[in-house]
Amino acid sequence: MQLRCFVFFIAFVLINASKKRYDGNLLLSVIPSEEEHLEFLFDLESRSEISIWNEIRRNGSVHVMLDKIKQAQLTPLFQSRHMEPTVLINDVQTLFDDEERTLRVQARDGFPRSIVDTFYTYEQYSSWLNQMAAAYPNLAQLMSIGKTYENRNIWLIKLTANSGKPKKTILFDFGIHAREWISPSTGGYLINEFLTKYAAGGDAKTILDNWELHIIPILNPDGYAYTHSRDRMWRKNRKPNGVCTGVDLNRNFGYKWNTGGSSGDPCSDTYHGGSAMSENEAKALENYATGKPWTTYLTFHSYGQWWFTNWGYSKEDPPSYQLLKQKAQIGANAIQSVHGRKYTIGSSSQLLYVASGGSEDWTRGVLGIIYSYCLELPPTGSPGFVVPTSEIKKTGSETYTGMVAYLKSF
């Protein structure tokens, strides 16, 4: 028994020794009010002086992670620009340690946690998907739509009922950015809810009787696995690019690719890749989605509580802008009705900044899906990506209500 404990202890030490640590890093809030401030932040990030957690916007709180030395260097520069730096999180590593401790305790206390209670690893998520597909053969069909660089399956689960009715079709994806854990968990919540509630009738039955839901729960499996094993703050996929690793998949899509708001530097967090659609994950989505008659497309990120319409690449109004906003409002109102959390609706480039190569621009520009949206799940502020496990049910339940209302509006 003692030997077994010792082996577990050594394994735990080895696993944690290989994890990237952020000791002494803190999270600051700064408020850029001028174009020059935005450029200052983008420049600091491109030189890896800081890491920006949320979406940069003028007159909004931008969350900047940096170490104590950089804090001492940059605070006077922020102050001289009247960007009002305030501390949101004093020690980011403590946040990661707490999260890891919670997941470890949940994993070993003998009670198998469900997808709505804890953040699954890629392996746990994969076996759960297989179990659900086996348990609900008349409602769910699981398939792999491609393999990643590290040879993981990119799963897609199709949910629909044999109702004999003509079906509308929605394509959902989650987890395109690795560190945004609440996104795949919300996907899991939706899958779980639709499958387990169908038999009772109600909304789950109404939706699956009239829709095909094509759900990619983790579009970036390698990156997601890496956030569990090595670096909680990883965003890109894991394909090597010479000196650095990874492409920002949400800058790699092939509509107006590399036309602003992405980086050509392979070491940048927003590296757009060597060419449009160069990445396996983007190609998997392209191969699956092309040629099918989609009613709508939704991609889920975190965080900020935004419901973005096109375009990302341009500040021009997208076609049918009023219609797009009205449709989004139906979903956002329903979300707000559950816990009071409000989403801001509009074109991402107009509300924030230009960013090209996003999946929702590609689904609109190339596939022609008019109702293509990008959602940024909660929260709006601290603790950003590292939300407590209780947030899975909270975000999941309101998102489910929002999706039901949104889909019923078609």
Q: Record the tokens describing residue 342, joined without a space.
A: 């409000």
Q: Record the tokens describing residue 256, joined without a space.
A: 């107006």
* Least spacing, CB of residue 131 vs Zn ion, in Å: 28
* Least spacing, CB of residue 348 vs Zn ion, in Å: 11
* Least spacing, CB of residue 248 vs Zn ion, in Å: 9
Residues 6+ away with beta carbon under 8 Å from 261: 251, 270, 312, 313, 353, 354, 355, 356
Phi, psi (rounded to 5 degrees) for 368:
75, 25
Nearer to Zn ion, 286 or 360 (CB): 360
Q: Record the tokens describing residue 275, joined without a space.
A: 């060419």
CA separation for the pair 182, 160 (Å, rounded): 24
* Least spacing, CB of residue 180 vs Zn ion, in Å: 5
Nearer to Zn ion, 177 or 394 (CB): 177
CB-facing half-sphere around the CA of 206: CA atoms within 13 A: 11
Nearer to Zn ion, 26 or 176 (CB): 176
Nearer to Zn ion, 148 or 302 (CB): 302
* Least spacing, CB of residue 97 vs Zn ion, in Å: 24
Residue with tokens 């809810």: 193
Nearer to Zn ion, 63 or 177 (CB): 177
* Least spacing, CB of residue 84 vs Zn ion, in Å: 25
Residues that bind Zn ion (CB under 5 A): 177, 301
Would you please indicate which residues are annotated as catalytic (active-site) residues? Answer: 376
Nearer to Zn ion, 54 or 61 (CB): 54
